[in-house]
Amino acid sequence: MRESGIIKKAHNLHALTVLVPRRIGQEFEIVPIDVPEPMVEHNDEGTMDFTWIRSVANVALFRKDHHDMKNYGEPIKEFDPPIEFRIPYGDLELENVSNDISQLKLAYFSPDRWVIISDVFHEYQILPPEIARIAEVKIWSWVGDPTIAWGK
């Protein structure tokens, strides 16, 4: 029998779903919020192999007790176990890649460039449109409250 386990709680932020894992016995709960700040909506010339299509959300994760007190000064930047995203794609993304979903990329904006997360290191998986227009990705660390975007 396993002595430790993980509970995943799904949070639906209007544009995506965030699965936040919590180890049994972990001292605090983590909650995601969709940050109301303006999203990055451009292609950054310093980013190789990524052309911005559409921004999805600005997501930040906080300790639940900090969120309850509206203390947003310290977003959580590292996750163990990793957080998981389920991010839908639509006609706009498909049109930009001539319906070839293998060309779609997910990225988040670091202070000065897009960081591509649609790779094996983030356990990225995209489902074909006839099954479900959704991509899945895991994040172990990031800058705090980045814009997440589709690109190619």
pLDDT digits (tens, 9 = 90+) for 52-85: 999 999 999 999 899 889 888 889 999 888 999 9
What ranges make up the beta strands (E) of the chain? 6-13, 16-23, 30-34, 52-63, 78-88, 105-109, 114-116, 125-126, 134-141, 147-151
Domains of the chain: 6-151 (2.60.220)
| Alpha-carbon gap, residue 58 to 14, rounded angstroms | 11
Q: Given pLDDT bands bounded at 50, 70 and 90, which one contains residue 123?
A: very high
| Alpha-carbon gap, residue 18 to 9, rounded angstroms | 8
DSSP for residue 121? G
pLDDT digit string, tens, across residues 13-45: 988 999 999 877 777 788 999 887 788 888 877
- For the whole model, what pTM was predicted? 0.89
What is residue 2's predicted lDDT score, i.e. its pLDDT?
Answer: 52
